[in-house]
């Protein structure tokens, strides 16, 4: 399974944009890039996913490098409620794969 590499922690100020990087240099052509976040004392929740093109939804944006070896989750205006652990994972959509392996993630601290 292709692995991802993320910084252990990042800090941001409230109301400012946050760019969370993820490296996945061994990504295959059938791997989708997914982001999840885990708020304190809760299970992870889906944030966004993409394959090749940049994606936007109500929670965040996902910028994918042209060679797909890295991606960046963008929170446009961080709030205190965005303080969480953010996981970047790769998922292959085929019948015999898709184990959904999590790395250590990036702990985001948001300062008021």
Partner 1 sequence: DADVTQTPRNRITKTGKRIMLECSQTKGHDRMYWYRQDPGLGLRLIYYSFDVKDINKGEISDGYSVSRQAQAKFSLSLESAIPNQTALYFCATRGDSSPGEAFFGQGTRLTVV
CA–CA separation, 68 and 85 (whole Å): 23
User: In terms of CB distance, is 25 or 57 closer to partner 1?
Assistant: 57
CB 31 within 8 A of CB 92: yes
What character string, x for contact with partner 1 (CB under 8 A) and - otherwise, covers 15-54?
A: -----------------x-x-x----xxxxxx--x-----
42 — alpha (psi -120 to 50), left (phi > 0) or beta?
Answer: beta
102 lies in the site for partner 1, by CB under 8 A:
yes
Touching partner 1, residues 58-87 (CB under 8 A) = 85, 87
CA–CA separation, 25 and 14 (whole Å): 31
Determine the interface stretch with partner 1 among 22-30, 61-69, 76-84, 94-102 (rule: CB under 8 A): 94-102
Determine the interface stretch with partner 1 among 10-18, 60-68, 74-82, 89-97 (rule: CB under 8 A): 89-97
Residues whose CB is less than 8 angstroms from the CB of residue 61 and which lie 6 or more positions away in sequence, other chains included: 48, 54, 55, 73, 74, 76
56 lies in the site for partner 1, by CB under 8 A:
no
């Amino acid at each position: 399974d292709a692995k991802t590499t993320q910084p252990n922690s990042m800090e941001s100020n409230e109301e400012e944009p946050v760019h969370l990087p993820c490296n996945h240099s061994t990504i295959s052509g059938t791997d989708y890039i997914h982001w999840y976040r885990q708020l304190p004392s809760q299970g992870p929740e889906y944030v966004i996913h993409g394959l090749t093109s940049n994606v936007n939804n109500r929670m965040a944006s996902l910028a994918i490098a042209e060679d797909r070896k890295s991606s960046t989750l963008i929170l446009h205006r961080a709030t205190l409620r965005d303080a969480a652990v953010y996981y970047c994972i790769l998922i292959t959509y085929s019948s015999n794969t898709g184990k959904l392996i999590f790395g250590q993630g990036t702990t985001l601290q948001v300062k008021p």
